[in-house]
Amino acid sequence: MTSLFDALEWKRHAIPGEAAYGQLEIGIGQVGSGGPVALVAAGVHGDEGPWGALAIRKLLESTSVDALQGTLRVVPCANPLAMQADARNAPLDTLDLNRSFPGNAGGSHTEVLAAVLANEAVAGCDLVIDLHGGGSWCVNAFAFEMPGGEHISRAFGAPFVVKAPDRTVTLTGYARSLGATVAAVEMGGRSVDELAWAERIADGLRRALTIAGVLRGTATEPPIQSIPVGETTVLRPRAGGLFVPEVKAADVGTIVPKGTSLGRVLDSVTLAVRETLVAPFDETALLLLRPHIARLEGGAMTYVVAQPLR
Chosen residue from 45, 154, 200, 274 binding Zn ion by CB under 5 A: 45
Which residue, 36 or 188, has its beta carbon nearer to Zn ion? 188
Number of residues that bind Zn ion (CB under 5 A): 3
Give 140 or 181: the residue with its C-beta nearer to Zn ion. Answer: 140
Site for Zn ion in 46-105 (CB under 5 A): 48
Beta bridge partners of 127: 38, 181
Query: Cβ of residue 274: shortest distance to Zn ion, in angstroms?
Result: 28
Q: Considering beta carbons, is residue 8 or 183 the nearer one to Zn ion?
A: 183
What residues contact 180, with CB distance under 8 A and at least 6 apart?
122, 125, 126, 127, 128
**Cβ nearer to Zn ion, comparing 138 with 215:** 138
Nearest to Zn ion of 48, 145 (CB atom): 48
CB 207 within 8 A of CB 220: yes
Contact letters for Zn ion, residues 239-278 (x by CB under 5 A): ----------------------------------------
Within 13 Å of residue 243, how many CA atoms lie on the same side as its CB? 28
* C-alpha dihedral sign at 200, 284, 183, 111: negative
Q: Nearest distance from residue 260's CB to Zn ion, in Å?
A: 26
Q: Give the range of 20-28, 37-45, 218-226, 269-277 binding Zn ion by CB under 5 A.
A: 37-45
Instruction: Rule CB under 5 A: choose which of 73, 109, 132, 207 binds Zn ion.
Output: 132
CA distance 291 to 136: 10
How near is the Cβ of 44 to Zn ion at its closest, in Å? 6
CA 73 to chain centre: 17
Q: Dihedral, CA atoms, 165, 169, 173, 176, nearest 10 degrees?
A: 140
Per DSSP (E only), the strands in the chain are: 9-16, 23-32, 37-42, 71-75, 127-131, 139-145, 160-163, 181-188, 227-228, 233-235, 241-245, 255-257, 261-266, 273-278, 283-289, 294-296, 303-306
Regarding 137 and contact with Zn ion (CB under 5 A), the answer is no
Pick 36 or 49: Cβ nearer Zn ion:
49
Instruction: For the CB of residue 47, give the shortest distance to Zn ion in the complex, in Å.
Output: 8
Residues that bind Zn ion (CB under 5 A): 45, 48, 132
